[in-house]
């Protein structure tokens, strides 16, 4: 089989709650810059990364795919995924300008498309290609809630609705700029959902170390499963000190680009729940390396889902470090086989591929640029 053409696309799909906010971002749309890799066989691979739907930067990603990676791919055997990944990652002109950022996001889209193609060629779902078992149940926790632009009453009503639909875990945002207000919001939700439900909080990198320690001291009785991204994303030593002194498990990884970043946090004891994202790492290939590394440290992997769980569900089924995965339904009308949750667990995908194939109607509705 040979790669014959590379087509890029950009989708901007509306978020489901008509504008949402965390401590550092406000969003109305989710961006899906992606690629379709076509072959001389009868299968094509779909891959994409995830952005905040800013067209000028999304265009930089698709340009990198079309102008820098595509010439290296045309004529190659798409089933030789890891070899192609290494070739693209180490291509000297690209390595010189970016081992993270735009070039890495672009490589993630390409790598996901190649894995999708490989699973389709084998006529099996990606989780099976990676050696997973279809009986493996992945629990879902919901993160399309708990937004900072909601009142406490909205937080409580939404949390109760999620429990009624079967979820046993929810995450809410903190980082209002006032730690006592953050604590009031967390306390109100914990009281509303009771003590048996997993409750996680996410500061999206907003705090300085004293704010995070103050928060941890005040919520000590709230039994939080984890505190996510309390400090600036790259601050290994700050997270190490917080993990040692705060008394709340630390989750992070959604902003880390490479296995080397993850290794620094794990080696320092600065992370308890590892959150790699295949659309920020260089795709599935690098995600698997990070998950294996986490396993060697005996740390659970709870992926961040810049792909809205489509590909990550396959990875969670297949990897022994994953039992829990977040769910956000923003792109549920974009895919031929959208990720779905029933009674608090993900439904196992059955179609060949990585569940990354975009529906033609989604191109009609959401394609931009
Ligand atoms: Mg987060």
Could you list the pLDDT tens digit for every one of the 369 residues in the chain?
Answer: 999 999 999 999 999 877 889 999 999 999 999 999 999 999 999 999 999 999 999 999 999 999 999 999 999 999 999 999 999 999 999 999 989 999 999 999 999 999 999 999 999 999 999 999 999 899 999 988 899 999 999 999 999 999 999 999 999 999 999 999 999 999 999 999 999 999 999 999 999 999 999 999 999 999 999 999 999 999 999 999 999 999 999 999 999 999 999 999 999 999 999 999 999 999 999 999 999 999 999 999 999 999 999 999 999 999 999 999 999 999 999 999 999 999 999 999 999 999 999 999 999 999 998
CA of 194 to the centre of ligand 1 (A): 23
Q: Which residues contact 145 (CB under 8 A, 6 or more apart)?
A: 155, 158, 159, 162, 170, 171, 172
Residue 123 CA to residue 42 CA, distance in Å, equals 12
* Same domain membership, residue 161 and residue 120: no
Asked if the structure places residue 256 within a domain, the reply is: yes
**In what side-by-side order are the strands of the sheet with 3-14?**
3-14, 29-39, 44-48
**Quick one: 140 and 107 in the same domain?**
no
User: Would you say residue 112 lies in a domain?
Assistant: yes
Residue at 136 is within a domain? yes
Q: Are residues 163 and 293 in the same domain?
A: yes
Split into its structural domains, the chain has a count of 2
85 lies in the same domain as 226: no
- Closest to 330 measured CA to CA, from 306, 360, 312, 303: 306
Q: For residue 154, give its domain range.
A: 129-346
Which CATH number does the domain housing residue 140 bear? 3.20.20.120
Alpha carbon of 230 to ligand 1 centroid (Å)? 10
Tell whether 105 and 147 lie within a shared domain: no
Kindly provide the b/e burial profile for residues 181-205, where b requires at least 16 CB atoms within 10 angstroms of the residue's own CB. ebbebbebbbebbeeebbbbbbbbb
Looking at the fold, whether 196 and 309 belong to one and the same domain comes out as yes
For residue 299, the tally of other CB atoms under 10 A from its CB is 18
Indicate whether 44 belongs to any domain: yes
Residue 353 belongs to a domain:
no
To the question of pTM greater than 0.75 for the whole model, the response is yes
Residue 354 within a domain: no
Task: Determine, yes or no, domain membership for 74.
Answer: yes
Alpha-carbon gap, residue 114 to 123, rounded angstroms: 14
What's 65's domain CATH number? 3.30.390.10
Ligand 1 center–CA 251 separation, angstroms: 9
CA–CA gap between residue 366 and residue 298 (Å, rounded): 41
CA distance 317 to 140: 12
Same domain? For 262 and 117 the reply is no
CB 308 within 8 A of CB 328: yes
Compute the distance between CA of residue 306 and CA of residue 49 in angstroms, rounded to an integer: 7
Q: How far is the CA of 90 from the centre of ligand 1 (A)?
A: 30
Looking at the structure, do residues 185 and 241 belong to the same domain, yes or no? yes
> Which residues, including other chains, have CB under 8 Å from residue 57's CB and lie 6 or more apart?
51, 102
pLDDT at 303: 98
Identify whether residues 114 and 138 lie together within a single domain.
Answer: no
State phi, psi for 326 to the nearest 5 degrees: -80, 160
Indicate if 144 and 286 belong to the same structural domain.
yes
Same domain, 183 and 324: yes
Residue 114 lies in a domain: yes
Considering the domain architecture, whether residues 90 and 144 belong to the same structural domain is answered as: no
Where in the sequence numbering do the catalytic residues fall? 173, 304
pLDDT of residue 98: 87
């Amino acid at each position: 089989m040979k790669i014959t053409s590379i087509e890029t696309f950009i989708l901007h799909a509306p978020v489901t709650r008509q504008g949402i906010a965390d401590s550092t971002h406000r969003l109305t749309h989710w961006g899906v810059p992606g690629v379709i890799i076509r072959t001389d066989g009868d299968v094509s691979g779909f891959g994409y990364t995830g952005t905040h739907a800013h067209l000028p930067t999304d265009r930089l990603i698709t340009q990198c795919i079309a102008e820098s990676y595509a010439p290296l791919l045309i004529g190659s055997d798409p089933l030789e995924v890891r070899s192609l990944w290494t070739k693209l990652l180490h291509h000297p002109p690209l390595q010189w300008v970016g081992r993270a950022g735009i070039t890495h996001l672009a490589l993630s889209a390409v790598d996901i498309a190649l894995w999708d193609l490989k699973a389709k060629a084998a006529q099996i779902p990606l989780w099976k290609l990676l050696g997973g078992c279809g009986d493996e149940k992945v629990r879902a926790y919901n993160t399309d809630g708990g937004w900072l632009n909601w009142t406490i009453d909205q937080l409580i009503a939404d949390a109760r609705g999620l429990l009624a639909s079967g979820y046993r875990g929810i995450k809410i945002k903190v980082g209002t700029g006032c730690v006592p207000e953050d604590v009031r919001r967390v306390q109100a939700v914990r009281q509303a959902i009771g003590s048996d439900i997993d409750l996680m909080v996410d500061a999206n990198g907003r705090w300085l170390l004293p704010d995070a320690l103050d928060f941890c001291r005040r919520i000590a009785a709230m039994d939080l499963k984890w505190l996510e991204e309390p400090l600036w994303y790259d601050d290994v030593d700050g997270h190490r000190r917080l993990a040692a002194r705060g008394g709340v498990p630390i989750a992070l990884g959604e902003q880390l680009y490479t296995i080397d970043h993850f290794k620094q946090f794990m080696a320092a004891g600065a992370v308890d729940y590892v959150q790699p994202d295949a659309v920020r790492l260089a795709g599935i290939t690098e995600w698997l390396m990070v998950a294996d590394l986490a396993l060697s440290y005996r740390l659970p992997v709870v992926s961040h889902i810049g792909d809205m769980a489509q590909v990550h569900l396959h990875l969670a089924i297949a990897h022994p470090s994953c039992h829990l995965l977040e769910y956000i339904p923003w792109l549920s009308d974009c895919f031929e086989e959208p990720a779905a949750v029933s009674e608090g667990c993900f439904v196992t995908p059955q179609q060949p591929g990585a569940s990354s194939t975009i529906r033609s109607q989604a191109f009609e509705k959401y394609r931009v640029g």
